[in-house]
Amino acid sequence: MRWPPRGLGEVLREMYEIKEFRVDFCLETLEELRAQNVHQLTLEARVSAAGGAYDFLPCPPLVFSRTVTRYDRLSLGGM
């Protein structure tokens, strides 16, 4: 998926007005793509935060990853 999804910041802001929360982005990817993709997502989240996209949050979004195993991919319909 293209990052960030269009309108994500506005939706999160509206949700935050109802209930306070923190934002974490979990990247699910294959091991061979993990380092590159986590790096890219982290950079994009930092740029968005620096640009004020998450200025309503108590802290910037956290980025972490989860390696998708072959079993996970099969259970998810082949990704």
Q: Is the pLDDT of residue 73 over 80?
A: no
Q: How confident is the model at residue 76 (pLDDT cuts 50, 70, 90)?
A: low
Percentage with pLDDT > 90 across the chain: 41
Confidence of residue 63 (pLDDT cuts 50, 70, 90): very high
E-strand ranges in the chain read 24-29, 62-67
Q: Tell me the pLDDT band of 9, cut-offs 50, 70 and 90.
A: confident
Rounded CA gap, 44 and 51, in Å? 10
Predicted pLDDT at 70: 64
Q: Beta-carbon neighbour count of residue 68 at 10 Å?
A: 18
Inform me whether the pLDDT recorded for 57 exceeds 80. yes
